[in-house]
Amino acid sequence: MALRDMQGAEANFFFILGRDTLADLPLWKEPNKLIQICRLVVASRISPSIDLHSLEASIPGIKNNIIQLDMPVIEISSSAIRQRLVQGLSIRYLVPDEVEKYIVEQKLYG
């Protein structure tokens, strides 16, 4: 709620997640609070479709709180990027140049 205090009651918040993560949302701690605080922006992933009726049964109100991103599906996962870094492989073209530079400078995942 610190963000709400900083930005004011009229601020809109969005939580971006993949469709695969949306399916696991009922397993999260207090998912009902999340949908009260923000809208869920769901990015397409190569994963099975989600049964929104079951999701709605687990988290009432979620169906009206989802924004589906219409975007091309690119098969890049953060796990795969981290694995490449651990193996010493290039992540060029998988992340923006600035992100790659930051990861290298901060010695993340190495």
Number of domains in the chain: 2
Q: Give per-residue pLDDT as tens, 60-85.
A: 999 999 998 877 777 778 889 999 99
Q: What is d(CA 26, CA 58) in angstroms, rounded to the nearest whole number?
A: 6
**Token pair of 10 as six digits:** 């009229």
**Does residue 15 sit in the same domain as residue 50?**
yes
- C-beta pairs of 3-11 under 8 Å, 24+ apart in sequence: 4/37
CATH number (domain holding residue 21): 3.40.50.620
**Does residue 63 sit in the same domain as residue 83?**
no
pTM of the model as a whole: 0.65
CB 91 within 8 Å of CB 100: yes
**Token pair of 72 as six digits:** 């091309």
Q: What is d(CA 13, CA 11) in angstroms, rounded to the nearest whole number?
A: 7
**Does residue 44 sit in the same domain as residue 82?**
no
**Does residue 97 sit in the same domain as residue 55?**
no
Q: Residue 93: give the domain boundaries.
A: 76-110
- pLDDT band of residue 48 (cuts 50, 70, 90) is low
**Does residue 35 sit in the same domain as residue 86?**
no
Q: How many CA atoms lie within 13 A of 54 on its CB side?
A: 8
**Does residue 53 sit in the same domain as residue 88?**
no
